[in-house]
């Protein structure tokens, strides 16, 4: 045989693969993972709050209850008792609930079934970077929606909808990743009405909604869609949530609620992706449902205290030109520094002072936000907040001078 010719792997990749980029955040996190750096950069749930013993007993209970079936292939739609529980919470039939392997899979599968090359997809500016990563290989044309303290600017949206021929809008109405902001009740109504009028599908990504530690809850976009249509199979809102932030992320259990035709396509797409979400994981989550309310209380209390502490220190120490959001739940807050500052170039100096954050610009689909940053308080102790915010304040002041 003649010597094999070395393969040009780059040339053999699909155009889809070529459109994928290494996550900017992942690259940044590598720099910030030195052991002595206080990191507000990660977006992880607090591991010390995981209900370890409950998970252990839930696994045992699931194995006792189901035997080998807990370890067998199972249906693509998901474990029926779990779907029934989710359906009961939303007052919809279980057929309208699809279990997915993390809401991240939900985003990928929705991208796969809804986005053709060149389709216009409306996203918040800024938005969840992981959604941009999931959608990107399907070739969307993004249009950024301006946002402010109350979430998406719905007047700007009304104008954009007149001209863009958008097909899909992706939004995170509760304690958004990355800003921590929530969409006001009036804007929710307007958002649901406007998208319905223009025949635009609305993806509501809600992994943090249960983690409200202050303020009043507003109805979900899905619920408003249900009221508008009066028919679960007409609702143009596709709702997603997850057990990652309320229980544990490692079991990768989340769900999608949607109209029948969307669920039917999701099932087909999921069959091609992974056949089904791990059977035992779904059973463990189902066994954990009785402790879910208690666990949510524990997490909310801890995150509320951590957020309050971080906000207090920011208020005391950041220079006057630095603005911050005031989240009422979730894991993140957002800092806007004076125009002209650059948080990407500043990061190196922050890390030298032993503190890290995520620069804001990767969260903008079309760029922008060079003077912004995301801070996560979910895993920070009071001492880390004291030292980290002091170091960050000092870095910002130095940069301003």
Indicate the residue among 373 and 396 with the shorter CB distance to ligand PMP: 373
Residues in 25-84 that interact with ligand PMP by CB under 6 A: 43
Q: Which of 220, 277, 258 is nearest to 114 (CA)?
A: 258
Residue 177 binds ligand PMP, judged by CB under 6 A: yes
Residue 182 binds ligand PMP, judged by CB under 6 A: no
Residue 205 binds ligand PMP, judged by CB under 6 A: yes
Q: How far is the CB of 236 from ligand PMP (least distance, A)?
A: 20
Residue 249 binds ligand PMP, judged by CB under 6 A: yes
**Which positions from 91 to 110 touch ligand PMP by CB under 6 A, shown as an x/- string?**
-----------xxx------
- Residues 59, 87, 166, 254: which binds ligand PMP (CB under 6 A)? 254
Indicate the residue among 126 and 388 with the shorter CB distance to ligand PMP: 126
Please identify which residue in the block is written with the tokens 């689909």.
365
Angle at which helices 221-229 and 185-197 cross, to 10°:
50
Indicate the residue among 43 and 140 with the shorter CB distance to ligand PMP: 43
Measured distance CA(162)–CA(128) in Å, rounded: 25
Indicate the residue among 172 and 356 with the shorter CB distance to ligand PMP: 172
Half-sphere exposure of 213 (CA within 13 A, CB side): 22
Q: In terms of C-beta distances under 8 Å and separation of at least 24 residues, what long-range contacts does 260-269 make, across chains too?
A: 260/95, 260/96, 260/232, 260/233, 261/233, 262/113, 262/238, 263/95, 263/96, 263/97, 263/98, 265/113, 266/98, 266/100, 266/109, 266/110, 266/113, 267/76, 267/77, 267/98, 268/113, 269/109, 269/112, 269/113
Asked whether the beta carbons of 252 and 102 are under 8 A apart, the reply is yes
Dihedral sign for Cα 369, 370, 372, 375, please: positive
Q: Which of 309, 311, 303, 368 is nearest to 329 (CA)?
A: 303
Indicate the residue among 244 and 343 with the shorter CB distance to ligand PMP: 244
**Which positions from 366 to 395 touch ligand PMP by CB under 6 A, shown as an x/- string?**
------------------------------
- Residues 130, 327, 360, 369: which binds ligand PMP (CB under 6 A)? 130
Indicate the residue among 177 and 279 with the shorter CB distance to ligand PMP: 177
Q: Is 324 helix (H, G, I), strand (E, B) or coil?
A: strand
Indicate the residue among 242 and 336 with the shorter CB distance to ligand PMP: 242
Q: How far is the CB of 26 from ligand PMP (least distance, A)?
A: 13
Q: Where does this chain bind ligand PMP (CB under 6 A)?
A: 43, 102-104, 128, 130, 172, 177, 205, 207, 242, 244, 249, 254
């Amino acid at each position: 045989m003649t010597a094999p010719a070395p393969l040009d792997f780059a040339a053999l990749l699909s155009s889809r693969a070529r459109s994928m980029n290494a996550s900017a955040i992942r690259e940044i996190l590598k720099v910030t993972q030195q052991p002595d750096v206080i990191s507000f950069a990660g977006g992880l749930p607090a591991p010390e709050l995981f209900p370890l013993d409950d998970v252990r007993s839930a696994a045992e209970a699931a194995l006792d209850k189901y035997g080998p079936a807990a370890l067998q292939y199972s249906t693509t739609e998901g474990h029926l008792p779990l779907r029934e529980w989710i359906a009961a919470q939303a007052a919809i039939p279980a057929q309208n609930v699809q279990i997915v392997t993390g809401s991240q899979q939900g985003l990928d599968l929705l991208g796969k079934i809804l986005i053709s090359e060149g389709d216009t997809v409306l996203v918040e500016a800024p938005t969840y970077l992981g959604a941009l990563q999931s959608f990107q290989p399907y070739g969307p044309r993004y249009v950024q929606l301006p946002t402010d303290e109350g979430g998406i600017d719905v007047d700007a949206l009304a104008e954009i909808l007149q001209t863009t021929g958008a097909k899909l809008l992706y939004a995170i109405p509760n304690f958004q990743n990355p800003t921590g902001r929530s969409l006001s009740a009036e804007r929710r109504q307007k958002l649901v009405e406007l998208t319905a009028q223009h025949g635009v599908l609305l993806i509501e990504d809600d992994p943090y909604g249960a983690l409200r530690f202050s303020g009043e809850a507003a109805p979900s976009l899905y619920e408003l869609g249900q009221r508008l249509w009066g028919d679960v199979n007409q609702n143009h809102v596709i709702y997603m949530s997850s057990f990652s932030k309320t229980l544990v992320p490692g079991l990768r259990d989340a769900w999608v609620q949607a109209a029948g035709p969307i669920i039917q396509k999701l099932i087909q797409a999921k069959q091609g992706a992974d056949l089904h979400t791990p059977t035992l994981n779904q059973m463990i989550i189902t066994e954990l449902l009785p402790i879910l309310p208690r666990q949510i209380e524990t997490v909310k209390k801890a995150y509320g205290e951590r957020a309050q502490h971080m906000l207090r220190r920011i208020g005391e120490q950041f220079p006057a030109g630095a603005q911050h959001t005031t989240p009422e739940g979730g894991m993140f807050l957002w800092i806007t520094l004076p125009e002209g500052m650059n948080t990407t170039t500043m990061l190196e100096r922050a890390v030298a002072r032993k503190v890290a954050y995520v620069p804001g610009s990767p969260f903008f689909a079309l760029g922008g936000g060079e003077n912004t940053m995301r801070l996560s308080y979910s895993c920070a102790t009071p001492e880390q907040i004291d030292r980290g915010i002091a170091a960050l304040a000092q870095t910002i002041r130095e940069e301003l001078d």
